[in-house]
Chain A
């Protein structure tokens, strides 16, 4: 029987702990330096899609979407498959996304190009004339980061997972190439397996065992309005600017857009974000200037050079695993990541060959994959 410590109480860490508990591991501890979800999980928009540009992302996310449906039903939390709509405003974008859709279809993901008329059906309040076409991903959807994380936490706790909040891991301790445990602000915690799912704290932690993970913390911004009656179901992306907008469960509009940020800079509010994101979306939704903005926050995307996460065993330290660097799509990947990490820990290999291609050693081995479709 193995003992596992998961460092990180966000969607990734809690999903890994939950998956382990479901597979009968009775000694699982989750260490969270602040409050569960307080890292990147509660800052994210809750979008869930498989419409990426790499086979690894598409296949893994199709499995994750399957798990989202099952978990949300079993545990009773909000998850809606309203789709994603990618707005295309130039011929170049249309050509690119037409090819992308063919690629999706070849893997069994039924995305398709839609015209202005169908766009109006999918997103009724949009000024669709500005789009040449749009890509619709009917399998995509959205969930509430709060509800999903809390539901997994309660179920994991029920199965005996111990959650230690306010516990900050400072160092991973190993001897002779095998992990021994974790040094924390509340003392040393012994473990046979350690999973580092610490979001923007991952790089620093892995450095304590001499592993340099190519992770960069880049601030990303999001804004939310007051709640309104349901206006549209899909999460909508403006491909030209990378902006996204989604209507959350309670009716608030949550939106984001890329603003230039330096990797590693402190996530602080800036005066240009709100005007930019509101202006971008006001061009598509003429009523938006009348909406009331409630709050604006800054979170992190933890980026890797190829925008794919690093998953699995950390080279050189037996019993040490990592699940981080999700480049803006950690929340949606969490269910499949939980499954894959549990498989790695319990059987020595991941469940899928696609996860096997995402190990941290891929950079040293020259096996980078490339993801071109990152939003927000």
Chain B
């Protein structure tokens, strides 16, 4: 308590400190960081946090942001209720 935390990923509660530690451990790829810290695995699926992560990682590694490969986006683009994905009628 009393210490300000800077959050990178609010869905999963990942802080800047977490990112810096992971970078030091050798997780320098954005896809690796996603699996290590769960950044981008929450309901926003990376929309809020990945750009912030890119900003931090590019500065820390001295790599241009445009040279960092973004984690793959997976369908569905927004979280969908299962019933919407299930077809009516036919069974298998």
Residues of A within 8 A of B (CB): 34-38, 42, 146, 150, 153-154, 157, 163, 165, 225-226, 241, 250, 269, 274-276, 278-280, 282, 288-297
Contact = CB atoms under 8 A, between A and B. Distances in A.
Given A37-B35, A269-B75, A297-B74, A291 B81 contact: yes
Contacts of B1: none
B66 interface: no
Given A226-B43, A296-B76, A290 B83 contact: yes
- Chain B interface size range: 20 to 34
Given A275-B85, A282-B82, A293-B85, A154 B29 contact: no
A274 B85 contact: yes
B62 interface: no
Contacts of B45: 294-295
A250 B45 CA distance: 15
Contacts of A292: 43, 79-82
Given A294-B79, A297-B74, A289 B86 contact: yes
6 contacts: A42-B35, A150-B27, A269-B75, A274-B85, A289-B86, A292-B43
Given A279-B86, A289-B82, A293-B82, 7 more contacts: A146-B35, A275-B87, A279-B87, A280-B92, A291-B81, A296-B74, A296-B76
Contacts of A225: 82
Interface of B: 25-27, 29, 31-32, 35-36, 38, 41, 43, 45, 74-76, 79-83, 85-87, 91-92
Contacts of B85: 274-275, 278, 293
Chain A contact residues: over half helix, strand or loop, or mixed?
Answer: mixed
Nearest to B36: A150
Contacts of B91: 279
A42 B80 CA distance: 22
Contacts of B29: 35, 165
A62 B45 CA distance: 37
Contacts of A157: 26
A146 B41 CA distance: 13
Given A157-B26, A226-B43, A296-B76, A290 B82 contact: yes
A253 B19 CA distance: 26
A174 B87 CA distance: 54
Contacts of B75: 269, 295-296
A167 to B, nearest CB: 13
A321 B53 CA distance: 39
Contact of B82 (A37, A42, A288): A288
Contacts of A250: 38
Interface centre among B25, B75, B85 (most CB of A within 10 A): B85
- Of A241, A276, A294, A297, chain B has the most CB atoms within 10 Å of the CB of A294
B25 A154 contact: yes
Nearest to A287: B82
A279 B92 contact: yes
A226 to B, nearest CB: 6
A146 B32 CA distance: 9
Contacts of A295: 45, 74-76
A169 B46 CA distance: 31
Contacts of B26: 153-154, 157, 163
B9 to A, nearest CB: 13
Contact of B36 (A146, A276, A290, A294): A146
